[in-house]
Structure 1
Amino acid sequence: MVFTHSLPLVPVPASVTAGEGRMPVTASTLVFGDSPAVAQLVEAVERRTGIRLATTDAAADAGVVLGVDTAADVPEGYTLSIADRAVITGADEAGLFYGVQTLLQLLREDDRGWGLLHADITDAPRFARRGIMLDVARHFFGVDDVKRYIDNASALKLNHLHLHLSDDQGWRIHIESWPKLTELASTTSANGDPGGFYTHDDYRAIVEHAASRHMIVIPEIDLPGHTHAIGVAYPELVEAPVLNDSLVSESARLGQPLPVAGETYTGWGVGHSSVRIHEERTYDFVRDVVRELAALTPGPYIHVGGDESLGTPQADFDLFAARATQIVVDAGKIPVAWHEMGSAENIAEGTIGQYWGNTVPQGTHAEEAARFVERGGGLIMSASNVSYLDMKYTEDFPLGLTWAAIIDVESSYAWEPTAVLDVPDTAILGIETPLWSETTKTMDEVEQLVFPRAAAQAEIAWSPKDAAERTWESFRERVGGLAPLWQSEGVNFHAAAEIPWSER
């Protein structure tokens, strides 16, 4: 690969050759193409530069040409050439969209005005699954905030949005057949902050916006634990809280209340809640919720949680895991679950596991994750000590937690998803980088934790692991070059001291 640090590209492409010079971009620069990516490019250039590019019906007249080569057999791939004109050819519409994101990173201002840096790029993703998660249960984020999250994540070529829609602190999606969930269990958030929920139209708007950015939405209803909020609405479905020693001591340290059956819970403690696993009514509930979510969700996945069910006996957990994953299959979707659900022998065939243990697996985590592979599924890697976006950058950072690790940008960049577990590389479907929202009340606060570390995770997911520029020294230079673009898009990124941030 030929590369110079003048090309601030993140993720680094599979192949890139930097050219000499730049292609001027002015109000007379014309754009040709019949893809939705044309309007997205025109709008993004105007936000960045104030220049409103015009479109043309004649490719020969255009300075920027966008198209799709339907004969190309490289899903999400693209080629980009910038010299006297810029030509982006996607292998599909997603590839064209990602080519536009790369073009926007090459749009720079100097003393001569705006221009596109000369380059020749051939690019395609390493992993098909490149995810990011937003916890809307502990703190709620409205539709416009979620759209903003989608826009900024998809610009980094991330293509799955995992929405954590329920937890002990709140239930965030309206279910027609169980209306008390949003009437009674959505009103608050962690720390007693305001709550909220998505109507079906709200959720559809999120899904449609994600699709326009080639992003699949994965809804999660966390079960059988993390279910205190369900009991606020329907007490007959949930067991009394199990107050373990860790929960009691941590609640006292933070000055937070302990959970009380039937009352909204505003603390952060985990492991105290469970649905009633031997009540048939519980499975009526799960079936109804999955049925409604499946009807609203065009993507192939529904996430059923499975983590931190600390008060649930193993035999009960096994029974629930088998039934819940099969309910998702019966609804025509692929179940996804946190790695603990791999402890259950009879999870549905093809269930996908999400590993959130450390890069050095602890306890039984590795064995639990491997069970998904044994039963015909794959694994999403979300190693918490390197990929959790809600961890603090430094010990004194005002937002975030530290239970998994303190994760500076370099630590976020320095891991390899296939090196964590003893499973075939082909079993690793990709990565997901989660944002849990105990400490974040606003999207500005979310973005402080997410950016620039989401860019590190995006490069791990997209770029070849053996690429010459897949090094920390290269990455820190390149991600620093994104500052002007992020500023023009209103991204409230953390200007981490280890990054040399560009001004133009």
Structure 2
Amino acid sequence: MTVPVPRSQTIDAAAAPFTFTATSRIVTAPETAATAEFAARALADAIGRTIAIVEDPADGDIVLEIAEGPAESYTLSADATTLRIVGGDAAGLFYGVQTLVQLLAASRTIAAQTIADAPRFAYRGVMLDVARHFFDVAAVTGYIDRAAALKFNALHLHLSDDQGWRIALDSHPELVEKASDSAIGGDAGGFFTKDDYARIVAHAASRHMIVVPEIDGPGHTHALGLAHPELVEAPVITPEVAEVVEAFGGGMPQPGAPYTGLAVGFSSVKIRDEATYGLLGDVYRELAAMTPGPYLHVGGDEALGTDPSDYAHYVTRVTRMVADLGKTPIAWHEAGASAELAPGTIGQYWGFVTPTDGMDEKARTFVRNGARLILSPADAAYLDMKLDADSTLGLTWANGPTSVQDSYGWDPADIIDGVGDDDILGVEAPLWAETLRTAADLDAQAFPRIAAAAEIAWSPADAPERTWGSFRTRVGALGALWRSQGIVFTAAPEIDWV
């Protein structure tokens, strides 16, 4: 009864179960010590008592081991005397512990069984937008903990947008000095210092997650223009921009003034100005040095006022710039319009489950170029969509509202014709923050639908329990655990909560 559902689980109903008692301990070795300490904390939160960590096993103990195997894999075996988790690597052991936390939160008695588990996709991401509204280090690390518990392994941080620039850089301190104070609705802004960012990266690493920073462009760059007005074009006010302003307020974007509305697609850097790439080269170079993970995200979405040839020139330049720094570029699927992206550039598809407007063809370009895709269909994986029509948080533009069943009812290999598992790097569940202001808002908007994305990213499509009926029962059983962990989830009526 866990989420994500494991690759295989064999229960021996005739054998005596494992019973976790007041004397049960965690048995560790030097190579598993860090995971043992994490397990002791996580289990204490779930079951309400401190658990000793020892080196010599006895009956009733939990044994943690690592034996070389497939990346991120683990086995969990339980019998009358011992519960043993063996990770194929440190990450796999960590994920096995997360499975154990769910099992013990449900019952101190665990049926005799063997679980053999490994992920379907290598990249299992969540995205947090800290640009529309800023979230501090505590909120971000809390979100990392919640995502890691569901076996996500990547945090995509959206660090720049029209409303604010959120990362301090030694090469260009003016970016936060002049462009970080604003947010949607006139709320307070903010930014991460380099020490803040390092703390986020380190916390993510302790949970076996990488950080994928995004500096968006050529659009979504109004805030950059507050620091460098010479590098941005005048806002392009389309009927779509006017329509959003009419619906949500915030006023029309004005050159040199902070933008606090929700409209998109009106801003652009000066694409044919070499000074633009001088600044971006500094930004990406410093950000690459701060980020140990393999990816840098260059954005590329919703450049609605940009000439197509200029757009292609921009995404070609920035993807090659990032590749020259030894990082793999990721770009939103629109960048597939360029035939000259840096080799290996990963595309991130954010169109609908049923593609529209040629979005699927742009996404296929990445695959034809020998790269892979991250799937984030907006009408299923975007956690910022309203859960139902009465939700006070969220938006509805992506065929919304998006129910829990909607968020579960898709498969990555069925979205884009000709794109199968081998062409897919993974799945990401973005959480845009237009309507979100607090860590409690993040919880309420992400949970429980984040669990659907987790299962889609981790579990085999053909697993017997990979069904809506099974999922709604299993996720409902997590209610008590989530409450004990302080997760302020939305109790969606589709789910029978425990």
Q: Normalised by the size of structure 1, how large is the TM-score?
A: 0.95
How far 1:122 sits from its partner (Å)? 0.7
SS of structure 1 residue aligned to 2:489: coil
1: distance between equivalents of 2:112 and 2:175?
A: 55
* Counterpart position of 2:182: 188
Deviations 1:274-297 (A, max 9, x none): 000111100001100000110000
Deviations 1:88-140 (A, max 9, x none): 00000000000000000001466xxx444543211111111111100000011
How far 1:17 sits from its partner (Å)? 2.4
How far 1:396 sits from its partner (Å)? 1.3
Deviations 1:253-273 (A, max 9, x none): 222211111111000100000
2: distance between equivalents of 1:183 and 1:105?
A: 45
SS of structure 1 residue aligned to 2:452: helix
2: distance between equivalents of 1:59 and 1:215?
A: 30
How far 1:196 sits from its partner (Å)? 0.7
Q: Is the 8 A contact 1:76 1:94 kept in 2?
A: yes
Q: Is the 8 A contact 1:225 1:275 kept in 2?
A: yes
Matches within 5 A, 1:456-471: 456-471=452-467
SS of structure 1 residue aligned to 2:453: helix
2: distance between equivalents of 1:207 and 1:394?
A: 34
Q: CA RMSD in A?
A: 1.3
2: distance between equivalents of 1:424 and 1:246?
A: 32
Identity score, percent: 52
CA 1:310 to 1:48, structure 2 compared with 1: closer, same or farther past 3 Å? same
CA 1:75 to 1:109, structure 2 compared with 1: closer, same or farther past 3 Å? closer
SS of structure 1 residue aligned to 2:85: strand
Deviates most, 132-141 or 79-88 = 79-88
1: distance between equivalents of 2:52 and 2:59?
A: 11
* Counterpart position of 1:336: 330
From 53, 56, 59, the counterpart of 2:57: 59
2: distance between equivalents of 1:143 and 1:329?
A: 28
Q: Which runs of 5+ in 2 are unaligned?
A: none
Q: Is the 8 A contact 1:108 1:117 kept in 2?
A: no
From 10, 23, 28, the counterpart of 1:28: 23
From 46, 49, 56, the counterpart of 2:47: 49
Matched, 1:490 2:486: yes
From 51, 67, 70, the counterpart of 1:69: 67
2: distance between equivalents of 1:339 and 1:347?
A: 12
How far 1:24 sits from its partner (Å)? 3.2
* Counterpart position of 1:429: 425
* Counterpart position of 1:97: 94
Matched, 1:297 2:294: no
Q: Is the 8 A contact 2:408 2:453 kept in 1?
A: yes
Letter in 1 for 2:274: E
Q: Is the 8 A contact 2:47 2:104 kept in 1?
A: no
* Counterpart position of 1:197: 191
Matched, 1:407 2:405: no
Matched, 1:234 2:228: yes
From 360, 366, 369, the counterpart of 2:354: 360
2: distance between equivalents of 1:470 and 1:350?
A: 32
Q: Normalised by the size of structure 2, how large is the TM-score?
A: 0.96
CA 1:245 to 1:424, structure 2 compared with 1: closer, same or farther past 3 Å? closer
Q: Is the 8 A contact 1:32 1:62 kept in 2?
A: no
Letter in 2 for 1:247: V
Deviates most, 159-168 or 80-89 = 80-89
SS of structure 2 residue aligned to 1:373: helix
2: distance between equivalents of 1:209 and 1:169?
A: 27
* Counterpart position of 2:130: 136
How far 1:184 sits from its partner (Å)? 1.1
Letter in 1 for 2:145: D
Deviates most, 290-299 or 419-428 = 419-428
User: What is the total number of aligned residue pairs between the two structures?
Assistant: 490
Matched, 1:147 2:113: no
From 447, 450, 460, the counterpart of 2:446: 450
2: distance between equivalents of 1:447 and 1:323?
A: 37
2: distance between equivalents of 1:295 and 1:255?
A: 39
* Counterpart position of 1:269: 263
SS of structure 1 residue aligned to 2:216: strand
* Counterpart position of 1:4: none
Deviates most, 23-32 or 214-223 = 23-32
2: distance between equivalents of 1:494 and 1:451?
A: 6
SS of structure 1 residue aligned to 2:212: strand
Letter in 2 for 1:103: L
Letter in 2 for 1:452: P
Letter in 1 for 2:288: A
Letter in 2 for 1:446: L
SS of structure 2 residue aligned to 1:248: helix
How far 1:395 sits from its partner (Å)? 1.0
1: distance between equivalents of 2:38 and 2:12?
A: 26
How far 1:388 sits from its partner (Å)? 0.5
From 13, 27, 38, the counterpart of 2:6: 13
Matches within 5 A, 1:97-176: 97-108=94-105, 114-176=108-170
Letter in 2 for 1:137: A
Letter in 1 for 2:66: V
1: distance between equivalents of 2:256 and 2:307?
A: 22
